[in-house]
Chains A and B, each alone.
Chain A
Amino acid sequence: MIKLSRYTAFVLLISALTLHSVQAKEMTVDLSSSIVQITTGFSGAELLLFGVAPEDGDVVIVIRGPQEQLIVRKKERLFGIWVNQDQFTFKDIPSFYAMASNRPLDQFLPGSIAAIQQIGIPNLDLAAVNPDEIEKVQGHYRHALIRNKQRQNLYKWKPEPLIFLGSGLFRTTLRFPSNVSVGTYGIDVHLIRKGELISSETTLMHVRKFGIEAGIYDFAHRYSLAYGIFAIIIASFAGWAANAAFRKS
């Protein structure tokens, strides 16, 4: 069912995009879905991204998750045990970062463009909450942040493969792990030719909790007292039911 509707969408998109490419000089991109829904069975998601490049060249895509504030803590040994000691807070960092390109970046992407467009993890601009500690943005704390994010599968160092299907039409699969943050994701598509940025296109995507998952989360955060009481009522009932069910046997 899902496969079929995806396939239909794919066919429609290809026909729409190829028609479009005949007249337009701009780059066009679209997603198989602009919303990722986190439901009970959620274990990550895959989206298809299609696009048409108006001219020959290489394409690089950057996906950035909603910005967040993160504390990096450093453990030190104290009386034989490892204790969090020093810490540093980053702000406005992307909660998710991934890329896709049709060939390795170093074969077509000049460093200047990568730096300006923040393509590649080394080019990410990270900011500090406390401006006095700006030197820590570089160095150990930056590396630690990236390493931890990579371990959580939220930062990808290498670009995912992107395939050109002919007549400027390209396609790639965006993968999101089950621990993605909720919010708006920005997807930048850059067309590079002969070391120059020909055009850039941005599209948005949303990750949302949906159905009962969203309901429980909202309940817990908005009416936290009622949620706590509700949790106790459920537990008391479960306890009573268990006792009643096994009383005779």
Chain B
Amino acid sequence: MQIYLPIAEISVNIFLILGMGGGVGVLSGLFGVGGGFLMTPLLIFIGIPPAVAVATEANQIVASSVSGVLAHWRRGNVDLKMGGALLVGGVLGSTFGVWLFTFLRSMGQIDLVIKLSYVVFLSIIGGLMLIESIRAMLNTKKQVRKKAHSHNWMHGLPFKMRFRKSRLYISALLPLIIGFFVGVLSAIMGVGGGFVMVPAMIYLLGMPTVVVVGTSLFQIIFVTANVTILQSVSNQTVDIVLAMLLMFGGVIGAQIGARLGVLLKGEQLRGLLALIVLGVCLKLSLDLVITPDDFYSIGAGVEH
């Protein structure tokens, strides 16, 4: 059954979109990731214009983050103050990111930048996860107990603030900078940025793992909401019909994934996710490297 997407202006198979939403939803429920970094490339593979894919996916992530944060909220695992600092940075960063996106789009380079960002980040994250899970599977016994965080140059930065829930006394500049950086990524790649934010919170800020996911989801809601509004205003690329189909599939998939997750071991899960991430990364890199069938492409010219 075909459905015409009013903003993407193409006709797609409704079951394909629901299936993709469901499939990525299963993965996100299974691994506890947002899934934006898989969904946006998939949407591009099936022919949705990259600009529409990125903006629409930001809208879908609002829904999945709201759904996810509520569970963490009830358990008290959201550090509002830290989340607030991150989201101020995130809103600034994503605003800059959407501006950059609009600029690159007018230069005809947005598709390249989207794909390159994916290749760079997916290869780093996928590679790190794969190494870590292989190492974990090889010697499960040897576990070095680390300190919550070590003191280094970052603790010399000004504007120190106390974050009670995270049991940290650090410069407010740190979460602002991290938030800004992830906000730019969010706007350009159509992701929540959890896959960068979570490691940054653990390893750079030294936050306790318990509050990391809830706080990350909390700030992702606001950053992706900001991206949705800015993309709507400056590029008119948010396709609400596509977003609703993805949300519907994603919600159901996430529940199935969460139940499946209980059956698999942590390291195996991480290894599997690493392989999926590297697979997507490989496909995108090949697109950039392989000689195209046609050196020329066409795009809508700016109307004067």
Partner of A232, one of B6, B229, B295: B229
Q: Smallest Cβ distance from A244 to chain B, in angstroms?
A: 8
Task: Assess whether B225 is in contact with A232, with CB atoms less than 8 Å apart.
Answer: yes
CB 8 Å contact bits of A216-249 with B (1 = contact, 0 = none) = 1100110011011111101110111011001000
Q: Chain A interface: which of B166-174, B238-246, B260-268, B269-277? A: B238-246
Contacts of B10 in A (CB 8 A): 178-179
- Is residue A107 contacting chain B, with contact meaning CB distance below 8 A? no
Partner of B240, one of A140, A216, A221: A216
* Interchain CB contact (< 8 A) of B288 among A82, A216, A229: A82
- Size of the chain A interface, CB-CB below 8 angstroms: 61
Asked whether, in the complex, the Cβ of A90 is within 8 Å of the Cβ of B301, the reply is: yes
Note all chain B residues with C-beta closer than 8 A to A76.
Answer: 295
The stretch among B38-46, B66-74, B193-201 that forms the contact with chain A is B66-74
A91 to B302, CA, bound (A): 10
Among candidates A212, A214, A228, A243, residue contacting B66 with C-beta atoms closer than 8 Å: A243
A238-B108 in contact given A91-B301, A148-B294 (Cβ < 8 Å): no
Task: Compute how far the CA of A178 lies from the CA of B68 in the bound complex, rounded to whole angstroms.
Answer: 37
Q: Is the CB–CB distance between B301 and A231 below 8 Å?
A: no
B80 interface residue per 8 A CB criterion: no
Residues in chain A near residue B236, CB distance under 8 A? 220-221, 224
Residues of B within 8 A of A38 (CB): 4
Q: Chain A residues with Cβ under 8 A from B240's Cβ?
A: 216, 220, 227, 230-231, 234
Chain B nearest CB from A91 CB (Å) reads 7
> If the complex has contacts A80-B289, A225-B229, A228-B229, are A70 and B300 also in contact, measured as CB distance less than 8 A?
yes
Count contacts between A and B, CB distance < 8 Å: 184
Instruction: Give the residues in chain B near A194, CB-CB below 8 Å.
Output: none
B65–A41 CB distance below 8 A: no
Q: Check if A71 sits within 8 Å of B108, measured CB to CB.
A: yes
A149 interface residue, CB < 8 Å from B? yes
Are the CB atoms of B289 and A239 closer together than 8 Å? Answer: no
How far, in angstroms, from A69 to B300 measured CA to CA in the complex?
6
| Given A69-B303, A141-B296, A225-B232, 8 new contacts (CB under 8 A) | A43-B2, A70-B301, A73-B298, A84-B297, A87-B108, A220-B6, A232-B62, A239-B65
Interface residues of B (CB under 8 A from A): 1-4, 6-7, 9-11, 59-60, 62-68, 70-71, 108-109, 112, 116, 221, 225, 228-233, 236, 238, 240-241, 243-244, 247-248, 251, 254-255, 288-289, 291-292, 294-304
Interface set of A (CB-CB < 8 Å, partner B): 38-44, 68-76, 80-84, 87, 89-91, 129, 140-141, 144-145, 147-149, 151, 178-179, 209, 212-214, 216-217, 220-221, 224-225, 227-232, 234-236, 238-240, 242-243, 246
**Can you name 24 A-B pairs with beta carbons within 8 Å?**
A69-B303, A72-B297, A75-B292, A81-B112, A81-B288, A84-B297, A140-B296, A144-B295, A149-B298, A179-B11, A209-B6, A217-B7, A220-B6, A220-B232, A220-B236, A228-B229, A228-B231, A231-B238, A232-B229, A235-B63, A235-B225, A236-B66, A239-B67, A239-B70
